[in-house]
A and B are shown apart, each in its own frame.
Chain A
Amino acid sequence: MYVRVKKIGSKRYAYLAEGVSKNGKVRQKTLAYLGPLVKIATGVSDEISRKVDGKVRNVDWNKINMDIRRIPLDFDELQEIKRDMLPRVLIGRQNRSQDIGRGNRPRVEGELAAITIIARRGFNEMFRTLKDGTLVMR
């Protein structure tokens, strides 16, 4: 399974595709539409991945997101991303959001696992658990 980019007019769009062998020839089969490249340039959002998961099984989103991030962007696409991100960054800063500038960008590979480990260590440092489940704050 891989990411296929099609240029339609002046814009590029990303699709989830796979190679299908037929009569000794390998053809590309489009499995799902992922969105305009500028919208998913940092990775596919949870909303899109959930929709695709409903249609296509066993998608390795870590690999797909890494593939997307390796696609070189041209100047116009970078400008469009900048225009798109700016209002969200500003809103985030105004709200003093904990996710400033993160927008809908999915977490990078290993980020959630790292948070899990840090949370576990922090919890164990902060609390002692008694046999009856009572937590004693240190």
Chain B
Amino acid sequence: MSVKRSLSKTYAGDLTSKSFISMLRREPNDLRKKMLLLGYVTSQLEKKKQSIFLVGGQAVETYTAGQFPTGDIDVTTSDSATTQKVLKSLGFEEIGMIWLNKPLGIAFHIVGYSAPERSRTIRIGPYKARIVGVEELILDRLSAAKFWNIPADYEKAKVLYDNFEKQIDKEYLREIAKKKKVVDLLLRITETPSPKLGR
């Protein structure tokens, strides 16, 4: 039986938040745990025709399979109040701007209310989570590297570009990079080869 099937079976049906959390605690893989949690929150919001998207550091961590670990799960949601209600039902407590679940060791941070222009769907067991597209994530990291002077974010953008180059909409990337005034850094990324990847 594949992992995917067993996940679908484990989390099948309309689980209460309590039974979902008790099952989630047994999940040994941290990234899968976070994705299942996000998937559950997404399912609860979509029932009310609302949406939630994974953005920021956790999106980078997901696309790089944990090579750039982050602290909290940054999300944008169309309905902050309902999102907070769902998090509360899952045992999260509000601490400043963060929603923390101590036993799970997971924190959510609602960073905005607008949906990304381009997003992708992650299927995890019976759930679907939405994640910001790689293009927007690269541009976001380049802006942070340039205007917030965070050199590590340039590295993240570079790794994302190299690993998703074939899937990236380069025209869109250039166009938005111009608007965000990060074309110089984008050029640096595209022109710096990654020799070990055979580019």
Contacts and interface: CB of A to CB of B under 8 A. Distances in A.
Contact of A112 (B31, B63, B159): B159
A115 interface: yes
A138 interface: yes
Contacts of B149: 47
Nearest to A134: B121
A20 interface: no
Interface in A98-133: 98-99, 104, 107, 110, 112-123, 125-127, 129, 133
Interface stretch (B40-48, B87-95, B150-158): B150-158
Contacts of B35: 137
A56 interface: no
Interface residues of B, number: 33
B123 A117 contact: no
B91 to A, nearest CB: 23
B120 A123 contact: no
B2 to A, nearest CB: 8
Interface in B171-199: 194-197
B120 A134 contact: yes
Interface string B139-167: 00000000001011011001100110001
Interface string B21-46: 00000000001100100000000000
A46 interface: yes
Chain A interface size, as a band, is: 20 to 34
A99 B70 CA distance: 12
A123 B65 contact: yes
A126 B151 contact: no
A118 B162 CA distance: 12
B155 A133 contact: no
A136 interface: yes
Interface of A: 45-47, 98-99, 104, 107, 110, 112-123, 125-127, 129, 133-138
14 contacts: A99-B152, A104-B151, A113-B195, A115-B159, A116-B197, A119-B63, A119-B159, A123-B63, A126-B31, A133-B120, A134-B120, A136-B4, A137-B122, A137-B123
- A-B interface, 9 closest residue pairs, ranked by CB to CB distance from nearest: A122-B65, A46-B151, A119-B64, A119-B67, A113-B196, A137-B124, A123-B65, A120-B163, A135-B122
